[in-house]
Amino acid sequence: MRVLITGISGFVGSTLAPALREFGHEVRGASGRGDVTELLVGCEAIVHLANIAHGSVSPDMLYRVNVEGTRFLAEKAVAGGARRLVYLSSIKAVGEKTHGLALSGAEVPAPENAYGRAKLAAERALAEVAGRTGLEVVILRPPLVYGPGVKANFLALMRAVDRGWLLPLASVRNRRSLIYVGNLVEAIVRCLEVPEAAGKTYSVSDGDPVSTPQLVRALAGALGRPARLFAFPPKLLEAAGTVLGRGDSVRRLTRSLEVDDSAIRRELGWAPPFTFEEGIRLTCKWYRSGRG
């Protein structure tokens, strides 16, 4: 199969491209925001990874690029003869937190910020194009993705653990789903190859959720460092984060966000090839190589 990957040089794309080639697919890549019309000619499928991350631009720009840009790509894909489009959305299209019931996709979406709203709007734009043209759209909603090349908050936490910082997280009792990039790539491949995936929306994860203290201890063990945690009331920690303008980042460390990925396991026969422990070990090995 000839596959176009948008955002091929990004975090997920740089892992997906060689994996697709190993599975025998021909890969084309688009980076940045240039015209993909020529690249789409002869492609049977597209994996749409490219988007603007939340917080980096205005909501209007976020919408134009992540929603209208996705709609434009789908229209061009149909015109070029593509059969299937796999869209990497986000669990943020559904919500930012859970209270004992994991997000499966059956719930009413309730995105809490501009990024989540744009992801949901992009999903709906693709559904409209699919309904009108017959394009086979498959949507994946991952939680936080980690692995070699990870940036932002996960990398910051890894650095804090490596530097031996005291972290006020021992009292946190949350449950958060994560997904290792290698597991996400395997899910994308299944969504490209399995006919029954057409028209479906799937959540994906490593499996069992972990608490923030468990994550810190796993990182510390893989880095060969002590996990330096101390107790501090999570509500006070959130309040302090809000005062310092870091409220969203702190809440991601204190609150729960669980994903139910039973549908993709049951319907597509997908299972993550890497355990959480293996994913953390490989991520820390990359970090130790000096590339983090």
Of 63, 115, 146, 287, catalytic: 115
Q: What's the angle, vertex CA 287, arms to CA 286 and CA 289, rounded to 5? A: 65
CA dihedral of 105, 248, 9, 28, whole degrees rounded to 10: 20
User: Annotated catalytic, 63?
Assistant: no
Q: In this structure, what token pair is assigned to residue 148?
A: 């070699």
Cα–Cα nearest to 86, from 180, 23, 13, 182: 13
Cβ burial, residue 289 (10 Å; 0-12/13-18/19+): exposed
Q: What angle do CA 45, 94, 122 make, to 5 degrees?
A: 40
* Burial of residue 278, with CB atoms counted within 10 A of its CB: 0-12 exposed, 13-18 middle, 19 or more buried: middle
Residues designated as active site: 115
